[in-house]
Chains A and B, each alone.
Chain A
Amino acid sequence: MNPEYAGGSLSGAFAALVRRDLLLAFRRRTELLFPVIFLLVVISLFPLGIGPSPQLLARIAPGVIWIAALLATVISLDALFRSDFEDGTLEQFVISGHPLTLIALAKIATHWLVAGLPIVLLSPLLALWMNLPTESLSVMVVTLALGTPILSLIGSIGVGLTISLKRGGQLLSLLVFPLYVPILIIATAAVMAASDGLPYTQFLGLLIAGLITSVTLAPFAAAAALKISLS
């Protein structure tokens, strides 16, 4: 297969795909808001469920916000390849001759821009709701900025594996949540350390290492998963 024939260079294809997916996402603006609204609703349930004590809320804030972010990511993940799989676009991508890994990476990048970035931007508000100390607020935002791309990357493998199933969404959460455990642990530990006035940069380092590792490995695994699902 000839990449030139399929229309341009690798980076051109990547950019074109991201642009197309962003355009598609912004055409359905209300759907775009669902994960964000979900996040707000889930977070607001916690004070209602366990009482409004500021100390208690501040104590559980990192965990609650992070778990809500995990849930919101998984809910939005199903849309990652779904429409392209159902209308056959994904098969066209495979035939196009561009490496499937690159296509997967473009899709993941778009997913993060559409579903991950709003969570990061919204997190200061959530942190205020949960009475998180202001000194750890910035750490919270940084862990989410570093962590949510990892969630999208690892999640894409699960989506690739379950895409051929009619109701893959429920199975997806079972597949990816165990893989999210280390990120949850490290990210919440960083925020808690910051709240307690302890050094936290080593945790951010671990998150960066995780981000680099998953950027290099996850697109390949996602592409392999898609290939199996398309076969």
Chain B
Amino acid sequence: MNTNIAVKDKPRKNALVLFIHKLGSPPWFYDFTGKFIPWLWLIFVGLAAWALYLGLVRGPADYLQGESVRIIYLHVPAAWASLLIYASMAVMAFIALVWRIRIVEILAMCSAPIGAAFTIVTLTAGSLWGRPTWGTYWVWDARLTSELVLLFLYLGVIGLYNAIDEPRKAARAACLLAIVGAVNLPIIHYSVKWWNTLHQGSSVSLLGGSSIDASILWPMLIMAFAVKFYYLANLLTRARVRLLEQDLRKGWVKDVVREQRP
């Protein structure tokens, strides 16, 4: 009955399904992504330059926070990216564990260092914002604290992935850890937020109580959008290198290397 129909339909596969299947094959993935990685970098640089021009050159200083408000064009997009990358890593980790697709495993694992980099950027920018605003480099503010725990979660995934020698086993173990972390992350976030109100009364939010002016909001949103292109371009670059390293002895890798000018 149903199975017959499925078999009959098989040759005329949905174009999207076919595309996804093709992406699962390392040589095809390598070729396909190689074509548009430069464009992703270009879009990132263009958008980031535009956002920084709007925010740093044209934008006014905030009447509450003064010049230091300019740090948020870096801090807030990086903070959003660090969370979004964790979510995307966890989703890919889930897909990788359930369907055992090697490229998705690699993509999930290559997300971790990028996410960790954004977490570091968020933390340094946040504490450099804190010095002129709060008068200290580090406050156990809810946002900074949960970002710090997020960095530890990233470091755990990276550490586990690098500690196990066999690449696929390492990826599966680290994927499971990423999922466990993702289940815990909301609990950590809310408990830290609540802990903060318990001990300090109220936390000073980076965006202040004031409604955000459009002249601040737009550069921030453009920067947040730009950062996604950085993630994509960096992720695909990393995944391609991992594929080369893992398939060292396979024919397609040799073809790729032969085609390159020495």
Are A and B interaction partners?
yes
* A interface with B by C-beta (< 8 Å): 157-158, 161-162, 164-165, 168, 171, 174-175, 177-179, 181-182, 185-186, 189, 217, 221, 224-225, 228-229, 231
* Cβ-based interface call for B260 (8 A): no
Number of interface residues of B (CB under 8 A): 27
Q: Please tell me if the beta carbons of B164 and A164 are within 8 angstroms of each other in the complex.
A: yes
* Cβ-based interface call for B149 (8 A): yes
* Cβ-based interface call for B18 (8 A): no
Q: Please tell me if the beta carbons of A228 and B188 are within 8 angstroms of each other in the complex.
A: no
B residues in contact with A225, CB < 8 Å: 173, 176
CB within 8 A of A175: which of B97, B156, B164?
A: B156
Bound: A33/B102 CA distance, A: 45
CB within 8 A of B160: which of A161, A221, A231?
A: A161
A residues in contact with B246, CB < 8 Å: none
Which stretch in B26-34, B177-185, B221-229 binds the other chain? Answer: B177-185
B residues in contact with A171, CB < 8 Å: 156, 159-160, 163
Q: Please tell me if the beta carbons of B160 and A162 are within 8 angstroms of each other in the complex.
A: yes
Q: Please tell me if the beta carbons of B183 and A228 are within 8 angstroms of each other in the complex.
A: no
Q: Please tell me if the beta carbons of A162 and B188 are within 8 angstroms of each other in the complex.
A: no
The main secondary structure of chain A at its interface with chain B is helix
Q: Please tell me if the beta carbons of A157 and B180 are within 8 angstroms of each other in the complex.
A: yes
The main secondary structure of chain B at its interface with chain A is helix
* Cβ-based interface call for B15 (8 A): no
B residues in contact with A177, CB < 8 Å: 152
* Cβ-based interface call for B109 (8 A): no
> Please, what's the 1-or-0 string for B5-23, where 1 marks a CB less than 8 Å from any CB in chain A?
0000000000000000000
Q: Please tell me if the beta carbons of B176 and A161 are within 8 angstroms of each other in the complex.
A: yes
Given known A-B contacts A161-B173, A189-B198, A228-B173, A182 and B187 have beta carbons under 8 A apart: yes
- Tell me the minimal C-beta distance from B102 to chain A in angstroms: 15
* Cβ-based interface call for B191 (8 A): yes
CB within 8 A of A174: which of B156, B176, B184?
A: B156
Interface residues of B in 85-111 (CB under 8 A from A): 97
Bound: A185/B195 CA distance, A: 7
The chain A residue sitting closest to B190, CB to CB, is: A182
- Tell me the minimal C-beta distance from A168 to chain B in angstroms: 8
Q: Please tell me if the beta carbons of A185 and B176 are within 8 angstroms of each other in the complex.
A: no
* Cβ-based interface call for B192 (8 A): yes
A residues in contact with B254, CB < 8 Å: none
> Please, what's the 1-or-0 string for B191-223, where 1 marks a CB less than 8 Å from any CB in chain A?
110110010000000000000000000000000
Q: Please tell me if the beta carbons of B159 and A174 are within 8 angstroms of each other in the complex.
A: yes
Q: Please tell me if the beta carbons of A186 and B191 are within 8 angstroms of each other in the complex.
A: yes
B residues in contact with A229, CB < 8 Å: 169, 173
- Tell me the minimal C-beta distance from B96 to chain A in angstroms: 12
